[in-house]
Structure 1
Amino acid sequence: MTASLEQLRRCHFGVDLGAARTRVYIRGAGLVVDQPSVAAVNTRTGALIAVGEFAEKMTGRTPGYIRVVRPVSGGTVVDIEMAQRMLRQLLGEKLRRALRRKPRLRAAACTPHEADPLAQRAAIETLVGLGARRVELVDTLIAAGVGCGLPVEQPEATMILVCGAATTQVAVLSLGSIVTAARIAVGGEAVDRAMVQHLRLHHELMLPSQAVRPLQLALSGNGPTANGPTTEVHGRDVATGLARSVKVDTAAVRDAIQTPLTAVIDGIGKVLRDCPPDLVADLADRGIMMVGGSALLPGLDQMLRQATGMPVRIAERPDVCAVLGLGAMLEGKIEPMVLDPLAA
């Protein structure tokens, strides 16, 4: 990690292209972009209509000639041209002009653990399209560990769980490197689908995508229905197609989302089995640090405590840990541990 830190200190900006949100950190300016990774396109003219939050609000509400697209899936850029256009609009003309004035513009990007060469190449080409002359790739697990304050450079074990929209990554870190890690194809979107499927099967109700978030708040006990066992949701009747509201038992919905969350527990068990015993002993005291936008899923932290018997903590700002860690490395705030060779 020492060599990569030296290279990162020469970078001018960093990008965390996630399936749910895109974040941009500019050295000296901080976090300047934090918007949904969504773009709306006019299919007749090819013009970009909206990006970010406004484009996300258009999901499911557009006429036939407007298409809402997500150029990033599972942390991997699947549409390079659209990702470049989206990033240009999110940055704005003023920031793009400031970046273009940098001599030999360098960029950094977060990539999922063990991303294949095609995924890495897609991330590089996306930033090259913004004018970057060189692009450094940083593992999301390392960046998130730095961003949430874990001592990743020390010779002690720390376990991090990055809960994304499409995937969940879990790893044990020590001496600035990944000892063992696993990538699980379950994220916040899988939990949302489980909620929608439960309402369709048990209540014959089609739940719109915009109604999933209020239901999550009710499950987590942070919403207005925290003291009640039921919450009211609005959707479309499967049989008649008419609008209908139903009272949903939050306990039943909580049981329905346990199935996708079980895969996360299995992934943690696999990582612990592959980890050296000395490091596992460290983890028994330090526990698991949860980061990522889906770390606040209802009951996930409690479920992990019961399954592993380890302490589980959620980072202070779990959704932006990766990009803040990347920014800390760009700013030179992370000092590598220097190992002096012993004299013979």
Structure 2
Amino acid sequence: MLSYDIGIDLGTASILVYIKGKGIVLKEPSVVAFDRDTNEIKEIGEEARKMIGRTPGNIVAIRPLRQGVISDYDITEKMLKYFIKKAMGKKTLRKPRISVCIPSGATEVEKKAVEDATYQAGAREVSIIEEPVAAAIGAGIDISKACGNMIVDIGGGTSDVAVISLGGTVVSTSVKIAGDDFDEAIVRYMRKKHNLLIGERTAEEIKIAIGSAYPRPEMTTMDVRGRNLVTGLPKTMTVTSDEMMDALKEPAMHIVEAVHNVLERTPPELAADVYERGIVMTGGGSLLRGLDELIEEKTGINTMVAEDAMTVVATGTGKFIEFIHDKKKDEYK
């Protein structure tokens, strides 16, 4: 192999790596565990995620990305280096061309930080792509046409809503409310309503099992273990999907408002396209049950969740390199 073309979905919750011709080759949590005393990295990815909330004082498991942007530069660089090496496997003669996607609301400074970290991690060429554009390409939408497509990409740290036409973003907004906020809302609800203290991982498990943003045909329940804040002792209790709907109401409505905001600013011709073609939802957060129904009810526009919603951004990021090079070829003709 002379070189690879790699697409990286640099997410707050997980990192996905796409290699041209191979598809998604790696999907791991963006968590790093390191020793505070020696600054030595202990684990990266899935093994580090298992350590969250379970480490001794000198070892900390952190997410070096917060709300879609780099909060710890050195650790992000080491993490990227590790994942790129793991995804490529064998050595290549040339450094890879890498495209990385970031939230649409990222500032120039934040973009530069991602670009520098990717170069330091061993890239020959770096392209930065906005998440909604990558999501649209990954979902199989032809973004090069003069036609409006609306994408709602809900990740771990940010939700990006955009209307795309002719290969670019026409109107967009990025709100710092997404999957992590759903988890936090569940933690808050359990503490307030049941005096039960639960951790991030437990909250995520509840969200996946019985979380809902819209009334379900039948109520489901789940046993939750945590610490009783009154007695200080471990306790198990049963929670229902209706309670979780209450807990998740606020963050879900924030996302609906973001969709509303973008629709209000969309030019009339493109708004008509969106009404006709519907809204496409991508990202792990879009898998929350009933969120598509809630958006459809509030906007009156047909809303659907993309197939393989978790991986479309990474796939689109990888295909973006081909999209750029095809564009350049056309310009030279």
Q: With structure 2 as the length reference, what TM-score do the two structures score?
A: 0.90
Measure the CA separation in 2 of the matches of 1:181 and 1:90: 30
**Structure 2, unaligned stretches of length 5 or more?**
none
* Partner-residue secondary structure (3-state), 1:316: coil
Tell me how far 1:71 sits from its aligned partner: 1.1
Measure the CA separation in 2 of the matches of 1:276 and 1:332: 26
Kept in 1: contact 2:8–2:318 (CA 8 A): no
Is 1:304 the counterpart of 2:295? The answer is yes
Other-structure match for 1:252: 243
Is 1:152 the counterpart of 2:140? The answer is no
Tell me how far 1:332 sits from its aligned partner: 5.5
Tell me how far 1:77 sits from its aligned partner: 1.7
Is 1:47 the counterpart of 2:40? The answer is yes
Measure the CA separation in 1 of the matches of 2:99 and 2:82: 19
Instruction: String of CA shifts for 1:250-309, please: whole Å, max 9, x gaps.
Output: 212202211111111111111111111121112112111000111111221111111011
Other-structure match for 1:167: 158
Kept in 1: contact 2:24–2:311 (CA 8 A): no
Instruction: String of CA shifts for 1:122-150, please: whole Å, max 9, x gaps.
Output: 11111111222331111111111000012
Instruction: String of CA shifts for 1:51-93, please: whole Å, max 9, x gaps.
Output: 1111001000001111111111122122221112112333446
Measure the CA separation in 2 of the matches of 1:220 and 1:226: 13
Tell me how far 1:337 sits from its aligned partner: 12
Alignment length, in residue pairs? 326
Kept in 2: contact 1:220–1:299 (CA 8 A): no
* Partner-residue secondary structure (3-state), 2:12: coil
Aligned residue identity for 1:38: V
Other-structure match for 1:125: 116
* Partner-residue secondary structure (3-state), 1:266: helix
* Partner-residue secondary structure (3-state), 1:318: coil
Identity, in percent, stands at 31
Measure the CA separation in 2 of the matches of 1:141 and 1:199: 33
Other-structure match for 1:235: 226
RMSD: 2.6
Measure the CA separation in 1 of the matches of 2:125 and 2:258: 34
* Inter-CA distance 172–11: structure 2 relative to 1 (3 Å threshold): farther
Is 1:26 the counterpart of 2:19? The answer is yes
Other-structure match for 2:72: 79
Measure the CA separation in 1 of the matches of 2:87 and 2:183: 37
* Inter-CA distance 273–185: structure 2 relative to 1 (3 Å threshold): same
Is 1:90 the counterpart of 2:88? The answer is no
* Inter-CA distance 157–11: structure 2 relative to 1 (3 Å threshold): farther
Measure the CA separation in 1 of the matches of 2:122 and 2:84: 13
Tell me how far 1:226 sits from its aligned partner: 9.3
Aligned residue identity for 1:15: I
Instruction: String of CA shifts for 1:193-219, please: whole Å, max 9, x gaps.
Output: 111111111110011222223322332
Tell me how far 1:182 sits from its aligned partner: 0.9
Measure the CA separation in 2 of the matches of 1:167 and 1:105: 28
Q: With structure 1 as the length reference, what TM-score do the two structures score?
A: 0.87
* Partner-residue secondary structure (3-state), 2:163: strand
Instruction: String of CA shifts for 1:144-173, please: whole Å, max 9, x gaps.
Output: 100001221111111000001111110111
* Inter-CA distance 232–226: structure 2 relative to 1 (3 Å threshold): farther
**Structure 1, unaligned stretches of length 5 or more?**
1-9
Measure the CA separation in 2 of the matches of 1:98 and 1:339: 32
* Inter-CA distance 332–304: structure 2 relative to 1 (3 Å threshold): closer
Tell me how far 1:243 sits from its aligned partner: 0.7
Kept in 1: contact 2:182–2:207 (CA 8 A): no
